[in-house]
Structure 1
Amino acid sequence: MVKLKSKFTLATFIGLLAVLFGGFFNTSCNNTTQKQISYTPIDSIKLSDPCILADSASQTYYMTGTGGKLWKSKDLKLWEGPFIVTETDSNSWMGPDPMIWAAELHAYKDKYYYFATFTNRDVIIDTVAGNKIERRASHILVSDSPEGPYKPMKDPTYLPADKPTLDGTFWIDTDNKPYMIYCYEWLQNLNGTIEKIELKPDLSGSVDEGKLLFKASDSPWSREKDQDGNDVPNKVTDGPYLFKTETGKLGMIWTSWIYDVYTQGVAYSESGTLDGPWIQEEDPITPPNFGHGMLFKTFDGKTLMSVHSHKEINGHYHRVPHLFEVDLSGDQLIIKKPFHP
C-alpha cells in the first residue's frame, strides 16, 4: 500500500507540474501577444488631420495624421497601433524633437512618401501683430515600406526658411510633374494662402519657387469678426487635398472657419490644372465642425472621405477621425452619408 501510494503520488505530482507549467507558459505567451497588439475602433482614436493610405500590395489601410504616429487596419473598423514611424535628423532645421502635424502617406514610383508639417519651437523666424512665429515647414520623408521607417532625403529644405508653411499634400499635374500643394500660414501674411511648388522627379527636393493658387479671402463661406466687430472673410487656410471627379474635373477640398465653427469647403479649377483659376463653391461641403479631409478608395471600390470632428472641451481640442461616403460620378464632389465600417 505504501509503495503504491508513493508511485501514484509521484506520477500525479509530475502530471500536475506538466499541466501547471504548460498552462503557465501558454498563458504567458498569449498574454504577451495580446499586450503587443492593441486594436481600437476608429471613433475611439484621438487624431487630427487623419489621412488613410489604402495599400493594395499589402491589402492594408494605413492611417496617420497630426502627432506623427501610424495605425493599420484590414477592415477600417479596428486599428492596430499607434506606431512611431519617423526618423528625423536632430541636426537639421527641425531640431531634436519637432512637432509633427498633418502627416500624409503617398505611394509613388515604388516608394512611400511621408508629407508632413514639422515645427521647431526653439527657433523664432518672425514676430507679426504680437505673435512669435516658430520655424515651421512642410517637408517630405521616404521609405521602402508603408510601415516605415520614414527618413529625410538629400535636400535640407523644400520651402523658404523665413515663411511658416504647413499641410503639404501631393499631386501630379497635367504636365506629368510632381507638386507639393501647401498653405502659407496666415500668422505671417495675415491672409492665408494655398500655393504649389514643383518637386524633383524623386521628390527629394523642390524646384524654383512657390506659386499662389488662391487666398483665404477668396472664400465666400468662411467668416470672422475683425478687431472692430466687422464681418470679414476668415484668414485661415488649412488642409488642402486634390481630387478629380469621374468626368475629369479637378477639385480641392480645404478647411477654414465660420466664426468658431471648423468648416470645410471645396474649389474647382476652371483650367483643369493646378494653375486654375480656382472657383470657390458658395457653401461648405461637410457638416459643421468637420474638416481637414482627404479622399481614398476602399479595396471594394467605395470612395470615402476621412475627416476629423472638432470639439472644444475645457479649453482643449478634442478631435476624432470619421469617414463619409462620397460620390464623384458627376462634375462635383457630393458627400452622401457617414460610413460605418
Structure 2
Amino acid sequence: MILPFFKPLLHACAVILCITGAALAQNASPVIKTDVPLDSIRLSDPFIMADKPSQTYYMTGTGGKLWKSRDLKKWTGPFTVAQTDPKSWMGPTPMIWAAELHAHNGKYYYFATFTNKAVKLGEGLERRACHVLVSDRPEGPYVPMKDSTYLPADKLTLDATLWTDTDGKPYMIFCHEWLQNDNGTVEKIALKPDFSGTTGAPTLLFRASDSPWSREKNKDGSDRPNKVTDGPWVFRTKTGKLGMLWTSWIYDVYTQGVAYSPSGTLDGPWIQEKDPITPPNFGHGMLFRTFDGKLLMSIHSHRSINGRTIRYPKLFEVDDSGDKLVLGRQLTDGQ
C-alpha cells in the first residue's frame, strides 16, 4: 500500500522517467515518416507554430524533434533541429524539454529547457535551465547565440516562453523548479533585443501556492496547494485582457489552469481562475491561430499503456472574443 502523501512524489518520478527516455532518444537518428495522424504521435508539451511564409505548421515539444504539416491532419517527421555546443554547460547530449518556436524579425528562435544529467546542483538535482537557440529557417538547424547562460547557473528553471509586454520589451517567462524551492514559481526576465541573452534579474509573477484549484496531500493526509508550476503561455484576448495558461496537478491528475492580469501587464497582479479551463488529464497548453483564422489550443494528455505513461498531442477550439478564454470542442486528427 502506498501512503497518500507519497503518491504525488512517486507519480512525478514516473513522469520524469518517461520524459527521460523520450528525451534521450533525441540523440538517435530518427526515421522520417510521412502522413502520420496527429493522434498517432507521442509527444509531451506539444507546441505548434503556424508559419505564414511557408504556409506550414511546425510542431515541437519535449525530446528535441520537429514535425511539420500543411493541414494539421497529416504530419511528417520527426526531424532533429537543435545543435547545441558540446563544450557548453549542457554537455554533449543534453535532454531537451518543452521546446517552442518563435518567429521574430526574420529569424526563428528555439526556446527550450536543457538538462545536463552529469552536473548536479544541491541535493543531487540535475542542472536544468532555459536557453534560446536561433536559425534563419523554421526547419533549423537551431544553434547557440552569444550568452552561455540566460538564468542563474544555480537555479533550476524550465518551460521558457516569449512575451513582449506593454513596455515594448521582450521577456522570457519561465518556471523556477519546485524540486528546488518547494513552491514552484512563474517569473519573467528581460531579453536582449536580439534574444541573444538576458538583462537584469528575474521578477516573480506568482507561485504555485496561489492556485485555488491545484491540490496535493500533506504528510498528515490533509490537502494543500500543489507545488508544481509548468508550461506558462501568455496571451491577450480580443478585448485586450492579458492572461496566462499554466499547468499543475490535482493529486495525480495533470491539469490546465489559467490566470488573468487586471493591469494588462506581466507585473499583474495575477488573479487565478477558480477552476481549471480544460477537462482532467490535459496540460501544458498553448494557443495558435490557424491560417484560416481559427484559434486552437495545443495540449497533451496522458494514457497508460502496459504500465507506462504515454503523452499524446491534442487540439481544442478556443473562443477569445470576450475577456476570458472559452474552451470549445476537442478536434480529432486536426479536424
Q: Does 1:59 align with 2:55?
A: yes
Q: How big is the shift at 1:122?
A: 0.4
Specify which of 189, 192, 216 is matched with residue 208 of structure 2: 216
Could you tell me which runs of 5 or more consecutive residues in structure 1 were left unpaired when the two chains were aligned. 1-34
Specify which of 261, 272, 297 is matched with residue 305 of structure 1: 297
Q: 2:13 maps to which residue?
A: none
Q: Distance in 1 between matches of 2:39 and 2:303?
A: 14
Q: Distance in 2 between matches of 1:285 and 1:201?
A: 33
The correspondence of residues 60-139 of structure 1 with structure 2, limited to 5 A, is 60-127=56-123, 132-139=124-131
Looking at both structures, which has the greater relative contact order when contacts are Cα pairs under 8 Å and sequence separation is at least 6?
2
Q: Does 1:166 align with 2:162?
A: no
Secondary structure, aligned partner of 2:179: helix
Is contact 1:178-1:199 (8 Å) kept?
yes
Q: How big is the shift at 1:310?
A: 1.5
Q: Does 1:46 align with 2:38?
A: no
TM-score (structure 2 length as normaliser): 0.89
Is contact 2:257-2:273 (8 Å) kept?
yes
Task: Provide Cα deviations, 1:159-210, integer angstroms capped at 9, x if missing partner.
Answer: 0110100000000000010000000000010000000000000000000110
Specify which of 236, 260, 281 is matched with residue 244 of structure 1: 236
Q: Does 1:181 align with 2:173?
A: yes
- The share of aligned pairs that are identical, in percent, is 72
Secondary structure, aligned partner of 2:329: strand
Q: Distance in 2 between matches of 1:210 and 1:133?
A: 21
Q: How big is the shift at 1:315?
A: 4.1
Is contact 2:32-2:77 (8 Å) kept?
no
Q: Distance in 2 between matches of 1:133 and 1:150?
A: 27
Task: Provide Cα deviations, 1:196-253, integer angstroms capped at 9, x if missing partner.
Answer: 0000000000001100000000000000001221110000000000000000000000
Specify which of 247, 258, 269 is matched with residue 266 of structure 1: 258
Task: Provide Cα deviations, 1:124-169, integer angstroms capped at 9, x if missing partner.
Answer: 0111xxxx21100010000000000000001000001101000000
Opposite residue 193 of structure 2, the aligned amino acid is P
Q: How big is the shift at 1:37?
A: 5.1
Q: How big is the shift at 1:39?
A: 2.0
TM-score (structure 1 length as normaliser): 0.88
Specify which of 253, 275, 281 is matched with residue 273 of structure 2: 281
Secondary structure, aligned partner of 1:52: strand
Secondary structure, aligned partner of 1:188: helix
Q: How big is the shift at 1:312?
A: 3.5
The correspondence of residues 149-164 of structure 1 with structure 2, limited to 5 A, is 149-164=141-156
Could you tell me which runs of 5 or more consecutive residues in structure 2 were left unpaired when the two chains were aligned. 1-30
The correspondence of residues 15-54 of structure 1 with structure 2, limited to 5 A, is 38-54=34-50
How many residue pairs were aligned? 303
Q: Distance in 1 between matches of 2:293 and 2:32?
A: 32
Q: Distance in 2 between matches of 1:142 and 1:136?
A: 19
State the 4+ residue runs in structure 1 displaced beyond 3 angstroms. 312-315
Secondary structure, aligned partner of 2:39: helix
Q: 1:147 maps to which residue?
A: 139
Q: How big is the shift at 1:313?
A: 3.5
Secondary structure, aligned partner of 1:299: coil
Is contact 1:39-1:81 (8 Å) kept?
no
CA RMSD of aligned residues (A): 1.0
Opposite residue 120 of structure 2, the aligned amino acid is I
Q: 2:310 maps to which residue?
A: 318
Q: Distance in 1 between matches of 2:36 and 2:219?
A: 44
Secondary structure, aligned partner of 1:43: helix
